[in-house]
């Protein structure tokens, strides 16, 4: 490449940085997935989890893309963390035998219900108003699994990663990395208010773990493919089950 050509290429990258193109692609793809009508998917506990997690993940994808385009991708760590967790959960559900998935979903609901009861107790013990209807939740029948691996995986993300036959460690590493910037940690304090050699407070921001959204886009493809497998197993027609993946791939 000539010197002039190289300069033009560098100038183009400055004017149209990769992260900006990726943010636009990601936002279009997320909107396309969310526009898919999945109302005709057969309603089962498993399909409700799959569709619900899918839509939640791509809502996060929209936020991540928007903040990235605004040069605020570093502030999207909580959203990336949620996206990685939803991806892991979907892969965890697909990883188990189809016959066990409904019980796994019920086990997660049971864990959620237990936490809600504890929240209600906390509110009442501290004379705070609580609008949690414990009796209504208790009346809802759940077929909870007795399998220890399923029960542990339903409660703890780390356990679900360890017990899965699919290798989920790369996504889990991304989840852990973004977790540092999603809570009131020393890492977060140190990034926003770093200390210089004179031990005075400065200003800064956390690093962006996936600036060009490369890992995000790969995970999104895996996510839609995984949903297709789950929905087909729950009786959805192939074209309907694969519609989110087709929408994602066709958006760009």
Alpha helices in the chain (DSSP H): 3-15, 18-34, 45-69, 77-95, 101-125, 134-138, 148-155, 157-163, 169-179, 186-192, 214-233, 238-241, 243-250
pLDDT of res. 160: 95
pLDDT at 138: 78
pLDDT at 12: 45
pLDDT for residue 3: 58
Count of alpha carbons within 13 angstroms of residue 33, beta-carbon side: 32
Distance (Å, rounded) from C-alpha 145 to C-alpha 142?
9
* CB count in 10 Å sphere of residue 120: 16
pLDDT tens by residue, the chain, 252 residues? 555 555 545 554 555 699 999 999 999 999 999 999 999 999 999 999 999 999 999 999 999 999 999 999 999 999 999 999 999 999 999 999 999 999 999 999 999 999 888 998 998 899 988 888 878 877 878 999 999 999 999 999 999 999 988 899 999 999 999 999 999 998 888 888 876 666 666 667 888 889 999 999 999 999 999 999 999 999 999 999 999 999 999 998
The model's pTM is 0.89
Residue 207 is predicted with a pLDDT of: 83
pLDDT at residue 186, as a whole number: 87
């Amino acid at each position: 490449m000539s010197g002039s050509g190289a300069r033009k290429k560098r100038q183009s990258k400055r004017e149209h940085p990769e992260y900006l193109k990726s943010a636009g692609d990601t936002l279009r793809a997320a909107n396309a997935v969310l526009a898919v009508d999945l109302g005709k998917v057969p309603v089962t506990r498993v399909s409700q989890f799959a569709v619900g997690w899918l839509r939640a993940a791509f809502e996060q994808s929209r936020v991540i893309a928007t903040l990235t385009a605004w040069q605020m991708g570093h502030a999207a760590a909580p959203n990336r963390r949620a996206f990685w967790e939803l991806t892991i959960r979907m892969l965890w559900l697909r990883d188990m035998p189809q016959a066990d998935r409904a019980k796994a979903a019920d086990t997660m609901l049971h864990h959620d219900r237990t936490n809600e009861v504890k929240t209600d107790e906390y509110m009442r013990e501290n004379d705070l108003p609580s609008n949690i209807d414990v009796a209504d939740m208790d009346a809802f029948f759940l077929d909870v699994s007795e399998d220890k691996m399923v029960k542990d995986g339903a409660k703890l993300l780390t356990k679900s990663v360890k017990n899965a036959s699919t290798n989920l460690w790369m996504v889990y590493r991304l989840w852990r990395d973004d977790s540092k910037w999603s809570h009131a940690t020393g890492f977060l304090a140190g990034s926003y208010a770093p200390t210089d050699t004179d031990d005075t407070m400065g200003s800064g921001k956390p690093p962006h773990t996936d600036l060009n959204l490369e890992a995000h886009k790969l995970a999104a493809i895996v996510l839609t493919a995984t949903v297709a497998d789950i929905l087909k197993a729950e009786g959805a027609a192939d074209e309907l089950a694969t519609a989110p993946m087709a929408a994602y791939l066709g958006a760009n």
